[in-house]
Structure 1
Amino acid sequence: MRIGELSSATGASTRSLRYYESQGLLSSDRRSNGYRDYGEEAVRQVAFIQDLYRAGLPSQIIRDILPCTAPTPPEGECTQLLARVQQVRDELARQEQQITQRREMLDRYLSGTATPAGLGGQPVCSA
């Protein structure tokens, strides 16, 4: 299928598809006229790539993950890769916890139940 057809089938822009190819995430054959030709598996692969980008993974990790989705994945590499992905997930969880704590502190300031240290119980501002 040509790039426009793949774009229609996946909802990814042709620009994104070219980017995926430049990053080594997607491959195509070239026809004699120079047009890209993608196999049917490209639809599933593009959907998977988009999911991983939405999950916050960088191209480098996605590029490493893709061989592990093959019918016969490389031995050993996928176990190490899984550990890397779990590290990314754990870092996201840590960041979520920090954001939650910050939001809760701001909520306490806004509700008047907390005051900055050193103000001796004085509210930050009065409404």
Structure 2
Amino acid sequence: MRIGELAERTDTSRRLLRYYEEQGLIVSERAANGYRTYDESTVDRVIQVRGLLDAGLPTRIIKQILPCLDKPRVIHFPDATPEMIATLTEERDRMTRRIQCLIRNRDAVSEYLDTVAGDELRLRSVT
């Protein structure tokens, strides 16, 4: 598939796909006309990369663990070094703290909305 189709199927800009390729996160072939072409499996790879980026992992770590990803959400890394394990542990713990913060913020927004909605209902019933 060409870059436009990959961009559409993954909801990712062409520019970002070219960046992923530049970083070694995805691979393309070049057609005779010079256009990039991507294998069907690149769709899943882009989704994996985006998910890992959204989780807060930097591209340098993603590049290291990508060879161990055989399908979305499954990581196999038989040759993990102590440094890699320490880095991934640190990243996991950072993501956990971020998740906890997001949950607290979500709960605060929900409480605010409940309060505002309750006030709005009380004001409507009075008038």
Q: State the TM-score, normalized to the length of structure 2.
A: 0.66
Structure 1 stretch 82-91 or stretch 23-32: which is displaced more? 82-91
> Where is the helix percentage greater, Structure 1 or Structure 2?
2
Separation in structure 1 between the aligned mates of residue 24 and residue 45 of structure 2, nearest angstrom? 12
- For residue 114 of structure 1, what is the aligned residue in structure 2? none
Q: 1:84 aligns with which of 65, 72, 87?
A: 87
Structure 1 stretch 80-89 or stretch 33-42: which is displaced more? 80-89
Bigger radius of gyration: 1
Separation in structure 2 between the aligned mates of residue 96 and residue 74 of structure 1, nearest angstrom? 25
Q: How does 1:13-28 map to 2 (within 5 A)?
A: 13-28=13-28
Q: State the TM-score, normalized to the length of structure 1.
A: 0.66
List gaps (5 residues or longer) in structure 1: 101-127
What SS class does the counterpart of residue 32 from structure 2 fall into?
coil
Q: CA deviation at 1:69?
A: 0.9
Q: CA deviation at 1:91?
A: 3.2
Give the aligned CA root-mean-square deviation in angstroms. Answer: 2.8
Q: Is 1:44 matched up with 2:47?
A: no
- The change in CA–CA distance for 1:82 and 1:10 in structure 2 (over 3 A counts) is farther
Separation in structure 2 between the aligned mates of residue 31 and residue 79 of structure 1, nearest angstrom? 41
Q: CA deviation at 1:93?
A: 4.2
Q: CA deviation at 1:84?
A: 2.3
Q: Is 1:29 matched up with 2:29?
A: yes
Separation in structure 1 between the aligned mates of residue 85 and residue 91 of structure 2, nearest angstrom? 10
- The change in CA–CA distance for 1:61 and 1:69 in structure 2 (over 3 A counts) is same
Amino acid at match of 2:13: S
8 Å CA contact 1:31–1:37 kept in 2: the answer is yes
What SS class does the counterpart of residue 50 from structure 1 fall into?
helix
- The change in CA–CA distance for 1:7 and 1:56 in structure 2 (over 3 A counts) is same
8 Å CA contact 1:65–1:81 kept in 2: the answer is no
Runs of 4+ in 1 over 4 A off after TM superposition: 92-97
Aligned residues with identical type, % of pairs = 44
Q: How many residues align?
A: 99
What SS class does the counterpart of residue 34 from structure 1 fall into?
coil
8 Å CA contact 2:55–2:95 kept in 1: the answer is no
